[in-house]
Amino acid sequence: MTGEIARLVAQDEARRVAFGVAHVTQHVREDSALLERLAEAIEHRHDTLAHTAGLNEEVFDSLVLLAAGSWQPEMLRAGWGKVQILIADMGQGCVRRLRKIGFDGQKAQPLSALHTRNFM
């Protein structure tokens, strides 16, 4: 049951993100100055929430435990590695989406790094 719920949530999230990327991409095609305004908005949001930047320790620990599936030290190490892969994959996905919208690689990478404590 939990696996099915997680699958449906992931499916819904992917659909929502795809719609948002397509919507913004269309607007950027119509107004290339929008990219600079988007970058400024991302940077402003990060600056406003700077005290929440990075991944919250409790969220990180919970992700490690979920990925580990056990309290056993060797399983926790494996869970930690899986979370590191998740973080890297999410960063790469964000860069990919920013590039699809129209940012070049030099701008997409630093913008992608401006995550808040809940991966947003």
Question: In what helix (H) or strand (E) does residue 37 lie, and over which residues does it extend?
Answer: helix 34-48
Q: What is the pLDDT of residue 49?
A: 84
Alpha-carbon distance 80 to 87, whole Å? 11
Q: What is the pLDDT of residue 51?
A: 79
Q: pLDDT tens digit string along 42-95? A: 999 888 888 776 677 888 899 999 999 999 999 999 999 999 999 899 889 999
Q: Determine the distance from the C-alpha atom of residue 102 to the mean position of all C-alpha atoms in its chain, rounded to a whole number.
A: 18
At position 25, the amino acid (one-letter code) is T
Alpha-carbon distance 73 to 79, whole Å? 10
Return all residues near 43 (Cβ < 8 A) that are at least 6 apart.
111, 114
